[in-house]
Amino acid sequence: MSHTDTMRFMEGSEAIAEATIAAGCRFFAGYPMTPFTELLEHLARRLPEEGGVCVNAESELEAVGMAWGAVATGNRAATGSTGQGLALMQESFSEITRAELPLVIFNMARGQSDYFQATRGGGHGDYRHMVLAPMDIAEAVELTQLAFHLADKWLNPVLVYGDYLLAHTSEAVEIPQGGPDGMGALPDKPWKIDGRLAGSGRSRNANSLGFEKGKPGIDPEAFWKRLAVKHEEIDAQEARVETLFTEDARLIVVAFGSIAKFVRYVVKQLRAEGMPVGFVRPITLWPFPSEAVAKAASGASRVAVLEQNAGQMIDDVRLAVLGTAPVDGIGEISTDSSGFGVGAIHDAEFIGRRIREAFTGREQRT
Amino acid sequence: MNGPTIVPTDVPPDRPARQLGLDKPRLLLSEQHHLCPGCGEPLAVRMMLEAIEEVGMAENAVGVVGIGCYTTFSGTMDVDVIQALHGRAPSVATGAKRMLPDSLVFTLQGDGDMVNEGLQEVVHTAARGESLTCVLINNGVFGETGGHMTATTVAGQRTKNTLEGRDPDYHGHPILIGDILAGLEGTAYAARGSVHNAAGVAGAKRMFRKAFETQMRGQGFSFVEVLTMCPTGWFIPTAEGPDYLDRVMGEVHVTGDLKVDGRVTTTEERRAETERQTAEFERMTRAGNDD
């Protein structure tokens, strides 16, 4: 069968839903909210057809609770919302992370202003979850399947950060069954809560404190220190990034998510015009690809961050660059990708103007 | 020696205590608990675990435990446990049960957990008719934090933040959660028991059995509330706990089956039934004394 035979023209929400099912996810719970709603709609229709369950939860609090219970049974499970809905779920995310449960979370965000929420979280205690930021539907399919894999690999939640553009535009894509090849073997799930060890004296306890059965007292400190080591390992091993023209660039432009695809297009055009500009696109927002950013910036005289918010990822870029080059924010708050059609459109012309200004500013200052 | 040894209790013992016997339910990993003297929660949990065993689900049970004093039992109950956040157990149990339709799935929650923080969760779960059992251990106070008012604290009850007693005009009225849940279409069985005397303990176990059987038959949502003593949180002498429960809590949260086979009972009906049973008991006691 040729490649084109297996490709279908799909809306992003449908493609992500199909990728979720192809990854073996059999439980989803959500609460409608634009622009996340269509993902819920597709899964509400498709999961029962595949022998799975989709619950229309009465609130985001309950949606994440249901997904928590389902993922604890050892089945692949997911939930999602927009950043507003995810704000309500933060307490559970932090608990689920410390309970080491492999939940996948979708943020079909109203733009890029949830970067801090996604990468820092608003829950209690020390916890991190991986964040994957696809730039288009084809990559969203790949990263959705990778999200389930990474969650199981590390026993840690993974968040897929999309937006209106991703959810509501269409592309011809292929959904690989079972996910892309080469992701590697996964560990068994001896921890899964299935009721089968009840009465055996070895029953299980999925909790966030390192609490073990039959042992009086708890030692959460030792447990949390072990989790901190795990998060350091994830940080060291799982960063993903795309770079372009960074070898000889004097200006490095950093962008993520849907806007990054347009930024990349503009950077290629400017290169063709002879401007020594390079491009770095973090695919994982946590772990942040600090090494790649630092390497790209090491030969440049300026770094510019184009994000659709008041300046959030710029903090991570500055931490990566560690003062070796000035870092400017050249994006701005935009509801362009919110789904409401109320924001200024950040098209190639806008992006080109901002990058030229950043480059000229550098020329003037040197 | 002739006859039993009378142990003097007005002086310190002259030798260490010695365990004479052990009657531990199979699903308890430890015969010890770390709760206060006079606490009713261990009794309620014990009845629940015995009922799980009696309905034949000792080897296929999942408990979703809330946050409160009873959370300590997540380590000693020999069932698979998911530790939930305060108030969130019903939704977590929903996700677990949907993936494990053949397992017995229950929540274990206190009144602060279920009726304060997580009220919408238990109501929605009942309305959905989820085939699981929510268990409320109701003592009318946040015991773990030190005896503060909850949404089930009855009028006049002293708590650490209602020192003159809960004043309905100022602090509002208690929620009779069992009665609310009984009225929902998705609820197949609901009951309120207590562990302040032997009859109550036996009754609580009957209610747990009935609830678990309801779940296993897939008839819908089931709910068991158990009134438990909290002398520490009620600021009363330990020995007065059972009587205080009966007089203060029991007067408002009236025990009995709240919904069986689609029929909802009212507080007045349950009160009348309790009075009838008490009169019957007294008549039999008198008759026994006359012999």
CB nearest B61 (choices: A65, A195, A208): A195
| Per-residue pLDDT at B93 exceeds 80 | yes
Give the domain CATH number at B181: 3.40.50.970
Specify if B282 maps to a domain: no
**A246 shares a domain with A127:** no
Sign of CA dihedral A121, A134, A247, A251: negative
* Start-end of H helices in A99-184: 115-120, 137-154, 164-168
Give tens-digit pLDDT for A229-264.
999 999 999 999 999 999 999 999 999 999 999 999
Specify if B231 maps to a domain: yes
Nearest-Cα distance to chain A for B126, in Å, is: 12
**A162 shares a domain with A43:** yes
Domain count for chain B: 1
| Per-residue pLDDT at A37 exceeds 70 | yes
Average pLDDT over chain A, rounded to whole? 93
- pLDDT for B9: 73
**Contact of A303 with A328, CB cutoff 8 Å:** yes
- pLDDT for A1: 45
Which of A92, A93, A207, A219 to probe the B interface (max B CBs under 10 A)? A207
Pairing state between β A7-11 and A170-174: antiparallel
**Contact of A254 with A317, CB cutoff 8 Å:** yes
**A251 shares a domain with A130:** no
Average pLDDT over chain B, rounded to whole? 93
Choosing from A149, A174, A199, the residue where a domain stops is A174
**A110 shares a domain with A25:** yes
Specify if A154 maps to a domain: yes
**A102 shares a domain with A13:** yes
Burial B167-205 (b: 16+ CB within 10 A, else e): eeeebeebbbbbbbbbebebbbbbbbbbbbeeebbebbb
**Contact of A47 with A41, CB cutoff 8 Å:** no
The more confidently predicted of residues A294 and A6 is A294
Nearest-Cα distance to chain B for A101, in Å, is: 11
**A248 shares a domain with A168:** no
Specify if A204 maps to a domain: no
Specify if A95 maps to a domain: yes
Specify if A210 maps to a domain: no
Interface of A with B in 41-100 (CB under 8 A): 53, 55, 57-59, 61-73, 75, 77, 91-92, 95, 99
Nearest-Cα distance to chain A for B95, in Å, is: 4
* Structural domain range at position A154: 3-174
- Asked if A290 is an interface residue toward chain B (Cβ–Cβ < 8 A), one would say no
Rounded to whole angstroms, the Cα distance separating A86 from A79 reads 10
| Cβ <8 Å between B80 and A66 | no
Specify if A56 maps to a domain: yes
Positions of E strands within chain B: 61-65, 80-83, 104-110, 133-138, 141-142, 148-149, 187-194, 221-227, 256-260, 263-264
B107, closest residue in chain A (CA to CA): A69
The total of other beta-carbon atoms located within 10 Å of residue A324's CB is: 14
Specify if B214 maps to a domain: yes
| Per-residue pLDDT at A267 exceeds 60 | yes
**Contact of B92 with A208, CB cutoff 8 Å:** no
Sign of CA dihedral B89, B94, B95, B96: positive
Confidence of residue A181 (pLDDT cuts 50, 70, 90): low
What average pLDDT does range B60-70 have in this prediction?
97
Rounded to whole angstroms, the Cα distance separating A360 from A354 reads 10
Specify if A284 maps to a domain: yes
Q: Of all residues in chain B, what percent are helix, strand and coil, respectively (each to 5)? A: 40, 20, 40
Report the percentage of chain B scoring pLDDT > 70: 96
Domain count for chain A: 2
CB nearest A68 (choices: B60, B80, B95): B95
- Chain A residues with CB under 8 Å of B121 CB are 61-62, 65
Pairing state between β A302-305 and A251-254: parallel
- pLDDT for B160: 93
Give the domain CATH number at A286: 3.40.50.920
Give tens-digit pLDDT for A21-35.
999 999 999 999 999
Nearest-Cα distance to chain B for A69, in Å, is: 4
Backbone angles phi, psi at A191, to 5 degrees: -80, -10
Total-model pTM: 0.93
| Cβ <8 Å between A203 and B84 | no
| Cβ <8 Å between B74 and A205 | yes
| Per-residue pLDDT at B213 exceeds 80 | yes
Element (H or E) spanning A79, and its range?
strand A77-81
Specify if A357 maps to a domain: yes
**A146 shares a domain with A15:** yes
* Start-end of H helices in A30-161: 37-49, 60-72, 83-98, 115-120, 137-154
CB nearest B75 (choices: A64, A194, A211): A211
Specify if B128 maps to a domain: yes
| Per-residue pLDDT at A124 exceeds 50 | yes
Backbone angles phi, psi at B204, to 5 degrees: -60, -40
| Cβ <8 Å between B95 and A27 | yes
B30, closest residue in chain A (CA to CA): A214
**A147 shares a domain with A47:** yes
Rounded to whole angstroms, the Cα distance separating B187 from B126 reads 5
| Per-residue pLDDT at A365 exceeds 60 | no
| Per-residue pLDDT at B150 exceeds 80 | yes
Q: Residue written as tokens 């004296």?
A: A201
Specify if B274 maps to a domain: no
Specify if B58 maps to a domain: yes
- pLDDT for A178: 66
Give the domain CATH number at A42: 3.40.50.970
Specify if B143 maps to a domain: yes
∠A278-A284-A285 over CA atoms, to 5°?
90
Give tens-digit pLDDT for A131-167.
999 999 999 999 999 999 999 999 999 999 999 999 9
**A246 shares a domain with A166:** no
**A139 shares a domain with A35:** yes
- pLDDT for A366: 42
| Cβ <8 Å between A198 and B62 | yes
Specify if A226 maps to a domain: no
Report the percentage of chain A scoring pLDDT > 90: 85
The helix/strand/coil state of A324 is coil
| Cβ <8 Å between A59 and B90 | no
Two tokens, residue B189: 């069985």
- pLDDT for B10: 80
Give tens-digit pLDDT for A291-339.
999 999 999 999 999 999 999 999 999 999 999 999 999 999 887 766 6
Choosing from A134, A158, A174, the residue where a domain stops is A174
Specify if B251 maps to a domain: yes
- Return the minimum-mean-pLDDT range out of A166-175, A218-227, A275-284: A218-227
A92, closest residue in chain B (CA to CA): B85
- pLDDT for A215: 72
* Structural domain range at position B159: 41-265
Interface of chain B against chain A, CB under 8 Å?
Answer: 26-27, 29-30, 32, 34, 53, 57-62, 64, 74-85, 88, 90-100, 103-105, 120-121, 124
- Chain A residues with CB under 8 Å of B60 CB are 195-196, 198
Choosing from A126, A150, A174, the residue where a domain stops is A174
